[in-house]
Structure 1
Amino acid sequence: MHYSIGIDFGKDKLDICWLRDVRANKKKTKVFPNQRKEFEAIANWIRKNTKVEPQEVLITAEPTGVYHEACIYFLHEQGFNIYLANPGKAKQFTQAIGLVHKTDKSDAYALARYGTGKEDLELWQPEAPEVRELKALMRRLDALEKDHQREVNRLEASETADVSERVLQSLYDMVAVIESEIRKLKTDIDDHIVRHPHLKKNRQLLESIKGVGEVVSRELTYLFAAKSFKQAKQVACYAGLIPKLQESGKQRGRTSLSKEGPSRIRAKLYMAAVVATQHNPAIRSQYHRLLSAGKTKMQALGAAMRKLLQICFGVVKNQKEYMPQAA
């Protein structure tokens, strides 16, 4: 039996709850700053209170952007069992056990309870060092691309307004600097992928699919290395490409994409799907079939995005180049 710990991570602090006795609802809590210098103290607090080896302790937490990562990696290295709960399911559990007030302390308690009620947990495992490095590079690229779009929007607005030449020059310079750094970062990412055979192989497999170019292959090489998907449907769900029924008033049977998960993946897949509807026989056939059935162009493109992503998952999972099927 594991000793159950729940940790609610925030930007500046983290709340820990040790569930001492589930039946008697006894617990012990503690708040620590979310800083690297405190991680050893956190591990010591858990050891001191539970009085067991780390291998007998289950720590349940929710992914919270990047704020949980450093501490989770440290605790895993110390030997603790880590379970990262699905935020949606953890929220449903919190509501089911009747927690009325939502605080960081109550969230930590709910996570500790959630961990005790799970059977056959799929414990979290850290990525390989090369995948962690790729994750950091991809995050930086994503941030720069967002900054670039914001500066381009400001530049376009300023060019139509009566602004000083100095402001325009500043915007031109900023866009040029960001574009230069984006090019360098893309080169670094590509070089990093080439240096690691399994990443290089996956990217080559992805680019064997008509419609998948360097942008999408770069994104999906990282995605499939960082996430462990067992089925193609899981990938589509993660990317927010599962159809969602919307009915209201006289509008019946209308569907749209769920659009949950990373929007950057959908944005890149959208352009790839547009190309694939012209050059990939399987996707082109599906696209025109859906249009003939009365679907809108956006619905047909959404289906093309989903099919393209599922094909990508298939070639990586099977480690075989894409073989187009007869339409």
Structure 2
Amino acid sequence: MSDSVFVGIDVSSQTLEVASSSELKTWQVANDAAGLDALVSRLLELGPALTVLEATGGYEFEAACALQAAGLAVAVVNPRTARDFARAMGALAKTDALDAKMLAAFARVLHQHPERERFVKPLADAELQRLQALVLRRRQLVQMITSERQRMRISHVAARPSIERVIEFLKTELGDSEADVAAHVQRHHAELAAALASVPGIGAASVAVLLAELPELGRLDRRRVAALVGVAPLNRDSGQMRGQRSIWGGRADVRRTLYMATLTAVRHNPILKTHYERLLAAGKRKKVALVACMRKLLTMLNAIAKNGSKWDPSLHNA
């Protein structure tokens, strides 16, 4: 491990600041085709065990894909996670060079972490990129419709016809967006989508979000996928103190979708309905019981994705 090379890349729209654990000084290339070619050539010479980049609004995507296509191990990490690591290492100042060096140091630590998939944003292939873009656009349209409806409530009567026209336009766009998502899912993920949709409480929109935002579904065990989404209770213990367990972190978009699906499932899914009522009878608060059902629902979906089978109440009840 001491002889391994680790690389950190600080990403901006115009440049890539690169730090290697084998070199004292950082170096810079342009964030364009020519710069990426130079970056790949130099890193192939270094042969890093892992290269880490921050997720930077999509500016990191071309670089990460180019390195991965060259056969290099690449991790795209959450900026908050990288910054927390830098603070823990005492690096309070912030420059491109310092950030790149901290990412190289983080790469060394991450390479040894047994559950590094929790910290790494997976790179998507062309099909998954398209699905993610379609799902994101649908979410944006839903948010815009919600915003316009809220404006309708507080606006003067003179402004309401305009708001109504905008809402109707957005509804049309939302319908087209949902059709695009459904067509893509049917074309590329029909079998898995049908298996997931067979679970009572899971609709087409939920399936699309799971496929787009949680590609690890069915590839990890139930504990790891729960931690990845952020529905696994985290301990808060110290000495003799035993704090209240709570969920935190994870993939917020997946968790929101899972929450809405669970609200339906505890009414119409016989397994989750029984589980929810049993928790309430045991004195659990409704929100706590819902979170427990979210985790149980995710476990069911993970098992279905792993086995490729459809919903079978007898198996999940066991």
Would you call these one fold, judging by a TM-score over 0.5? Answer: yes
Distance 1:228 1:102, change over 3 A: farther
1:66-215 equivalence runs, <5 A: 66-85=58-77, 90-117=82-109, 118-119=111-112, 126-158=123-155, 163-165=156-158, 167-196=159-188, 199-215=189-205
Q: How does the TM-score come out when normalised to structure 1?
A: 0.80
Could you tell me which residue of structure 1 aligns to residue 209 of structure 2? 219
Q: Deviations over 1:249-306 (max 9, x none)?
A: xxx8544432x23433333322321221122222112111111111111111111122
| Unpaired stretches in structure 2, ≥5 consecutive residues | none
The percentage of aligned residue pairs carrying the same residue is 28
Question: Partners of 1:156 and 1:124 in 2: how far apart?
Answer: 39
Answer whether contact 1:131 1:226 (CA < 8 A) is retained: no
Could you tell me which residue of structure 1 aligns to residue 289 of structure 2? 300
Q: How does the TM-score come out when normalised to structure 2?
A: 0.82
2:25 is paired with a residue whose SS is strand
Answer whether contact 1:20 1:27 (CA < 8 A) is retained: no
Answer whether contact 2:11 2:59 (CA < 8 A) is retained: yes
The count of residues paired between Structure 1 and Structure 2 equals 305
Question: Partners of 1:228 and 1:72 in 2: how far apart?
Answer: 24
Distance 1:189 1:13, change over 3 A: same
Deviation at 1:45, TM superposition (A): 5.0
Deviation at 1:142, TM superposition (A): 1.7
Matched, 1:276 2:261: no
Question: Partners of 2:195 and 2:94 in 1: how far apart?
Answer: 46
Instruction: Return the letter of the residue paired with 1:132.
Output: Q
Question: Partners of 2:146 and 2:261 in 1: how far apart?
Answer: 19
Deviation at 1:57, TM superposition (A): 7.2
User: Which of 3, 6, 9 pairs up with 1:4?
Assistant: 6
Could you tell me which residue of structure 2 aligns to residue 243 of structure 1? 233
Question: Partners of 1:69 and 1:237 in 2: how far apart?
Answer: 25
Could you tell me which residue of structure 2 aligns to residue 59 of structure 1? 51
Question: Partners of 2:215 and 2:25 in 1: how far apart?
Answer: 38
Answer whether contact 2:78 2:121 (CA < 8 A) is retained: no
Question: Partners of 2:163 and 2:81 in 1: how far apart?
Answer: 44
Answer whether contact 2:5 2:47 (CA < 8 A) is retained: no
Q: CA RMSD in A?
A: 3.1
Question: Partners of 1:150 and 1:168 in 2: how far apart?
Answer: 13
User: Which of 25, 28, 36 pairs up with 2:26?
Assistant: 28
Matched, 1:47 2:41: yes
Deviation at 1:27, TM superposition (A): 2.2
Question: Partners of 2:107 and 2:264 in 1: how far apart?
Answer: 45
Distance 1:151 1:11, change over 3 A: farther
Matched, 1:233 2:227: no
Deviation at 1:324, TM superposition (A): 1.0
Question: Partners of 1:309 and 1:291 in 2: how far apart?
Answer: 20
Question: Partners of 1:272 and 1:201 in 2: how far apart?
Answer: 20
| Unpaired stretches in structure 1, ≥5 consecutive residues | none
Question: Partners of 2:141 and 2:47 in 1: how far apart?
Answer: 40
2:166 is paired with a residue whose SS is helix
More strand by share: 1
Instruction: Return the letter of the residue paired with 2:134.
Output: L
